[in-house]
Structure 1
Amino acid sequence: MLKGNAKQAGRTPMTPLGAVIRGSAAAAVGTLAMDVLLYGRYRKEAGKSGFPRWEFSADVHNWDEAPAPAQVGKRLFEGLFRRELPDRRAALVNNVMHWGFGILNGAVYGVLAGSVPEPKVRHGALFGAGVWASGYVTLPAAGLYEPIWKYDGRVLAKDLSAHLVYGLTTATAFRILDYVRKPRK
């Protein structure tokens, strides 16, 4: 971490491990905030499941129904272990990948935010937009999404707004965790 800059800003320098832990914890809050937004949209569009059932993918029963996070996880597992994952694992893999991806990105955010003198909540918008954009690069390359230019602007805007909620909430939670870890001078 850039210890001199942190001290100049009046805060105790953050260790790399501390930044990873805080970023991961903050991103768990950010992932939940994004999911609450997505669930609200689901209900507004006549979705019937309660939040726990929706959140834990209880209605995903096979790989044909599974969204992109599950498909990526399936490919990783089967490529690594050379074993086929049964349909009954689709919901579990979806949740592990969705939450794991959100938390892992938060670890990266933590290292970056922990390296600047005063991390700003507004940096979360750039972070969320970057996570959103990375999906539209990697998922088409994996054959799980169409190229970004094939999506309707409304679909892209809804997806981007959810990722902005994720990024801004992650940045806010990181800032709070950074503040409470050690009082300012």
Structure 2
Amino acid sequence: MPKQVNHAERRAEIDAIVWEIIAEDGIAAVTLRSIAARGGISMGHVQHYFPTRDAIVRHALTSFLAVAERAHPIPDNPDDGLLVLLTHAIPCDESQQLGSKVWYAYLAESITDPDIREIVSKALRGTEDLATTLLDGDRTRARILLSAADGIIYRALVGIVTPQSAEAAIRELIATS
């Protein structure tokens, strides 16, 4: 009897390899060869699931967004929801650090890659819409809080501030705005 292969699981494994490469070396380092070498799989195996490098990079982004959404559910309470929305990307542990590196790499890539820009823009609009809802329709405040939180998280990612001080700053920002 032929071996049953879970294709979604195989794609998820490739996505995880892509995220590791991006976190360590940037999006430019993602190639069929680097994925195969990192994963200990053949290039043909990678190409079986993704015909091109661009398809892999796009799929890894959409999968990344879905995983992040599942990992950080937004509580029903608007105050708690806003706090989760604004702090979930603070690099407090290894997993969050990888996630932040991957997200900011995709943000940078979206400046020059229209396909990535489309996916990132949709995600950013969704986040802004959610923040606006949590803030009783105040889109301007949502934009300010999201932008400030992004800057604070980026500073934590590059080591200018600690994750703890980043969270404290975001909490203060929420309280005073």
Q: Which is helix-richer, 1 or 2?
A: 2
